[in-house]
Chains A and B, each alone.
Chain A
Amino acid sequence: MNTSTDDMIEVPLYRAAHGRTGDKGDRSNISVIAWHADLYPLLAEQLTPERVSMQFRHRTPARVQRFLLPRLHAMNFVLDAVLDGGVNDALNLDAHGKALSFLLLDMPIRVPRALAPMLAGP
Chain B
Amino acid sequence: MNANAPPPLLIGCAAGFSGDRTDAAGPVVDTLIARLASGPAGQRAFLIFETLAERTLALAQLRRRDNPEAGYEPLLDAMLRPVLARCLAHGIRIVSNFGAANPRAAARHIARMARELGADAPRIAVVEGDDLSGPAHRALLHEALGAQMEGLRIVSANAYIGAEPIAAALDAGAQIVVCGRVADPSLAVGPAMSHFGWRADDWHRLGRATMAGHLLECGAQVCGGYFADPGYKDVPGLDAVGFPIAEIDAEGHCSIGKADGTGGLVSEATVKEQLLYEVHDPSAYLTPDVVADIAEAEVKPLPGAPDRVALSGVRGHARPSHYKVNVCHEGGWLAEGEISYAGPRAEARARLAAEVLRKRLEGLALRVDLIGALSILGDDAGRMLADTPDTGLRDVRLRVAATHAERAQAERLAREVMALYTCGPAGGGGVRTALTPRLNTLSCLLPREAVPVRFELLGAEALA
Comparing B67-75, B236-244, B379-387, the segment that makes contact with chain A is B379-387
Q: How far is the CB of A14 from chain B (nearest CB, A)?
A: 6
**Interfacial chain A residues near B283, Cβ < 8 Å:** 67
Q: Which residues of B from 255 to 289 have beta carbons under 8 Å from A?
A: 269, 272-283
**Interfacial chain B residues near A11, Cβ < 8 Å:** none
Are B279 and A22 touching (Cβ within 8 A)? yes
Are A22 and B278 touching (Cβ within 8 A)? yes
Q: Does B249 contact A (CB under 8 A)?
A: no
Are B232 and A18 touching (Cβ within 8 A)? yes
Contact of B313 among A65, A71, A102 (CB under 8 A): A71
**Interfacial chain B residues near A41, Cβ < 8 Å:** none
**Interfacial chain B residues near A89, Cβ < 8 Å:** 331, 403, 438, 440
Are A121 and B232 touching (Cβ within 8 A)? yes
Q: How far is the CB of A113 from chain B (nearest CB, A)?
A: 21
Q: Does B446 contact A (CB under 8 A)?
A: no
Given contacts A22-B276, A58-B387, A99-B376, 11 further A-B contacts (CB under 8 A): A18-B232, A29-B279, A31-B273, A69-B282, A71-B298, A72-B298, A76-B276, A76-B279, A86-B441, A89-B438, A91-B380
Are A88 and B54 touching (Cβ within 8 A)? yes
Q: Which residues of B from 347 to 397 have beta carbons under 8 Å from A?
A: 367, 369, 371, 375-381, 383-384, 387
Contact of A59 among B276, B299, B379 (CB under 8 A): B379
Asked whether A93 and B376 contact (CB < 8 A) given A72-B298, A86-B441, A88-B440, the answer is: yes
- Report which B residues bind A (CB closer than 8 A): 54-55, 226-227, 229, 231-233, 269, 272-283, 294-299, 313, 328, 331, 334, 367, 369, 371, 375-381, 383-384, 387, 399, 401-403, 438-441, 443
Q: Does A39 contact B (CB under 8 A)?
A: no
Question: How far apart sit A92 and B380, CA to CA, in the bound complex (Å)?
Answer: 7
Question: Which residue on chain A has the smallest CB distance to residue B281?
Answer: A67
- Report which A residues bind B (CB closer than 8 A): 14, 18-20, 22-25, 27, 29, 31, 33, 58-60, 65, 67, 69, 71-72, 74, 76, 78, 84, 86-94, 99-100, 102-103, 120-122
Are A91 and B269 touching (Cβ within 8 A)? no
* Main SS at interface, chain A: mixed
Are A69 and B401 touching (Cβ within 8 A)? no
Are B232 and A14 touching (Cβ within 8 A)? yes
Question: Which residue on chain A has the smallest CB distance to residue B282?
Answer: A67
**Interfacial chain A residues near B280, Cβ < 8 Å:** 24, 27, 29, 65, 76, 78
**Interfacial chain B residues near A99, Cβ < 8 Å:** 376-377
Are A103 and B282 touching (Cβ within 8 A)? no
What are the 6 closest A-B residue pairs judged by CB atoms, nearest first? A22-B278, A31-B276, A91-B367, A58-B384, A91-B401, A84-B380
Are A58 and B379 touching (Cβ within 8 A)? yes
**Interfacial chain A residues near B275, Cβ < 8 Å:** 72
Are B273 and A20 touching (Cβ within 8 A)? yes
Asked whether A91 and B402 contact (CB < 8 A) given A69-B294, A99-B376, the answer is: yes
